[in-house]
Amino acid sequence: MSKKKPGKNPFYVALVLVGVVFLVTTFCYVLMAFRAVGGHSSEQSGSRMLVFMDQHGAWLLGGELAVLILASLAAMATDSYWSGKNKTPSDGTPSSNIEKASESSSSQDGGEHLDSSPGVSRSRE
């Protein structure tokens, strides 16, 4: 049987697209702000984009930032699914790298756990 190859996480694609749109919107908003500081109003410039950014830019940036945050969280939450790495084996028992690391470290030091806090020295007897 052929093993199904996991696909790409679609939230990464959304993240890149929304990130690019956010970047362009930010540049337009900064351009509008610099022109306003220089004494040129967006209405005087005759640019519809600058007038739109003057009227709706803050809300647009806030909305895009919210979508960017949601896409980031969704990408992180579904990363193990899309990469094909399941966190639980078929028998339902969790197997994480942390548990494996703690098991291997306890077998190396004979099962003893020493306190490694600064200023505390303990020796083995």
Segment 57-104, tens digit of pLDDT: 999 999 999 999 999 999 999 988 888 776 555 555 555 555 555 555
Does residue 59 lie within any of the structural domains? Answer: yes
Does residue 31 lie within any of the structural domains? Answer: yes
The closest alpha carbon to 50, from 32, 65, 33, 35, belongs to 32
Does residue 40 lie within any of the structural domains? Answer: yes
If pLDDT is split at 50, 70 and 90, which confidence band does 49 have? confident
If pLDDT is split at 50, 70 and 90, which confidence band does 46 have? confident
pLDDT of residue 99: 53
Does residue 24 lie within any of the structural domains? Answer: yes
Structurally, how many domains does the chain consist of? 1
Does residue 33 lie within any of the structural domains? Answer: yes
Does residue 122 lie within any of the structural domains? Answer: no
Please give the residue range of the domain that contains residue 30. 10-80
Highest mean pLDDT among 5-9, 50-54, 99-103 belongs to 50-54
Cα separation of 41 and 46, whole Å?
A: 9
Cα separation values, 96 from 55, 88, 124, Å: 51, 8, 30
Does residue 94 lie within any of the structural domains? Answer: no
